[in-house]
Structure 1
């Protein structure tokens, strides 16, 4: 029996939400820590990104400054890399790691990396799914309309698929970043583990997002079966 005033399935989310909170704290604290550690290469994140892109033959990909903290990203539609002020102007180990990571995404795009192409293809339906899945599902639950609940679940599955395919995309970009930094001589041997720590902390946020989404899906399935 489903009781609208008390939803025990919400308990399923607690471990995943705790992981998500930990991941957010970890990425912010790790980035802040290594943002205070200058890399001996004495290059800014923007300089490193520009040099790596040029070396890869991507001279037509601009490196732009964007606002915010940890807002760094590569935009495949505009073919533009955007770096936050701490990374764009920074000469820290964290700045170089993040700049190289975003360069990794640019290389994925240029090389038609399949998981990235799949993720980009999923984005439109995943975007709709993330906005409409819950309203449709719970409307169906209230109205006892199983087709609406099923549609909500399918839309949520699209959003979950997007998050799952993001994992190999992000880990591959980080792997490329470390190889690029090593090949370019941007990091000393003792700086490599610190750069890895920054990228691993960032990757954990994507793992946590998948965990939360999986628990949400399980919750929806249980609620649908408990509607009678």
Structure 2
């Protein structure tokens, strides 16, 4: 049986480290972004200008740049071939703005050259979506009907976990490409490179936290499955 103490499911303890790390990562990225949003680059280029320059330099004239709503909503859309940047990044000339813009262009470059981890991650999107939504239905059926349903739920959830893990090399590589592009194209001064890396490293923490949370949840499901069978 699953151990309960005064109505508390003790398996939640498995999730606690990941939850704390997620809170830390979210605070880190927000505070770091806010800090370097106030530090302007000596070159004075906006995020949109940096994105356009790097795209054109890499022969990606067909990739568009659009303004997106919301804070930290920056992303690359491979279906539309568009880099979407939040207002602070699109119009900003801060270290944070140009770093984030270059990172998203890094994804566009990955897409153009057929970067294997990105291609693999894109194929996992429907599997991850189905797995993360359907898994819990089978988990509940497992407790209500038969433990065998829990096994199906765990297999479905594995897709979501794999997606989070594969996301890590994709994001780290995009950040590496961003730093190289900023440096080699003279878009930031050498003295600003360290600050740019701090912005991108902080952002990467959120993906590490997401992967840790997914793995922790998977471990918890396995424990629940084993307890259900006892």
Same fold (TM over 0.5): yes
> Residues of 1 paired with 2:193 and 2:207: CA distance?
22
Q: How does 1:178-217 map to 2 (within 5 A)?
A: 178-217=179-218
The residue matched to 1:226 in structure 2 has which SS? helix
Q: How many angstroms apart in 2 are the aligned matches of 1:83 and 1:147?
A: 45
In the TM superposition, residue 21 of structure 1 has moved relative to its aligned partner by 0.4
Alignment-derived partner of residue 142 in structure 2? 140
Residue 62 (structure 1) aligned to one of 64, 75, 79: 64
Partner Cα distance (2:212, 2:136) in 1: 17
Give the Å deviation of 1:2: 2.4
CA distance in 2 between partners of 1:123 and 1:146 (Å): 27
Partner of 1:160: 161
Deviations 1:120-149, CA, capped at 9 Å, x for gaps: 000001011111212321221222x12321
Correspondence for 1:126 = 128
Quote the residue 2:24 is aligned against: 22
Which residue does the alignment assign to 1:45?
Answer: 47
Q: Hey, which bits of structure 1, 4+ residues long, moved more than 3 A?
A: 3-6
Shift of residue 3, structure 1, vs aligned partner: 5.3
Instruction: Say which SS state the counterpart of residue 42 (structure 2) adopts.
Output: coil
After alignment, is 59-68 or 182-191 more displaced?
182-191
Q: Is the 8 A contact 2:102 2:178 kept in 1?
A: yes
With structure 2 as the length reference, what TM-score do the two structures score? 0.96
1:132-174, CA deviations, whole angstroms, 9 ceiling, x for partnerless residues?
A: 212321221222x123211110111000000000000000000
Mapped partners of 1:20, 1:135: distance in 2: 25
1:104 to 106, 109, 128: 106
Give yes or no for contact 2:3–2:10 (8 Å, CA) kept in 1.
no
* Corresponding residue pairs, total: 227
Flag structure 2 segments of 5+ consecutive residues without an equivalent: none
Tell whether 2:2 aligns with 1:2.
yes
Q: Deviations over 1:30-67 (max 9, x none)?
A: 00000000111111000010011011111010000000
Residues 63-87 of structure 1: per-residue CA shift (max 9 Å, x gap): 0000001000001111111000000
1 CA distance for matches of 2:57 and 2:201? Answer: 25
Question: What is the alpha-carbon distance in structure 2 between the residues aligned to residue 188 and residue 139 of structure 1?
Answer: 58
Cα RMSD for the two superposed structures: 1.0
**Is residue 75 from structure 1 mapped to residue 77 from structure 2 by the alignment?**
yes
C-alpha distance in structure 2 between counterparts of 1:128 and 1:151, whole Å = 12
Partners of 1:62 and 1:129 lie apart in 2 by 32
